[in-house]
Amino acid sequence: MARKREEGGFLETVKVIVEALAIALVIRTLLFQPFNIPSGSMIPTLLIGDYVFVSKYSYGYSNYSMPFGPDFFSGRILASPPNRGDVVVFKLPRDNETDYIKRVIGLPGDRVQVIDGRLYINGVIVPREPIQKAVTEGRDGREVPVTTYKETLPGNGDHPAVEHTIIEIEGDHGYKDNTELFVVPSDHYFMMGDNRDNSTDSRFAPDEGGVGYVPFVNLVGRAEIIFFSVRKDESALAFWRWPWSVRWDRLFRPVD
């Protein structure tokens, strides 16, 4: 009798574990997926060591929404296009495997260009105004004072204009501060990092090691909230260092 109870208890434990794993898989596949930020291309919006939740349902689902990207179907189901200004995780088009996170700047049909460090969308300069100076990491890894701007991206359809913060480490004369005119193809998007002089994005063609235009199907989801954050070079698993390593002021901050 005791042996049957032990067997029943073991099977019940296995059942609970399987159910928990199934629920976690459903949440990760259909609802939210965590991502960590490994580079400084989205400073000051996202810092190295931030962990964000990405909503998988925001733009519908493609093969890249699924773990390991299985080839179940083509295109997207329950599709809803992103808005200009959304911060998006996507699969890098040149390998369809690497996760990148950038801001949507250009929608299908948009004409995008950077001239002397200023962003133009459809022939109109995007408004920006200088705000407080910030200190961040330069290309050589040392901390440097940088100019910070509030930039206002134009709205699209019923979606209002989006204000966000950018930095210019090298001012308005850095690399890729003068570009060709980009015309975003149908079902593609133009992405840029908020750290304008330290972001490999759609300004760089795939054969330059860049991103190029991002197909709609490659979008994984929209970054929603920072749920955890540790200082650069700190491990999130080193819980005994959390009192000093965690950036407590960044926890549960929405991604704007």
Give the active site residues: 41, 102
Q: Beta strand pairing status for 143-153 and 128-130?
A: antiparallel
The two three-digit tokens of residue 124, written as one number: 């109109």
Amino acid identity for residue 80 in this structure: S
Cis before 206 (ω within 30): no
Interatomic CA distance for residues 114 and 177, integer angstroms: 6
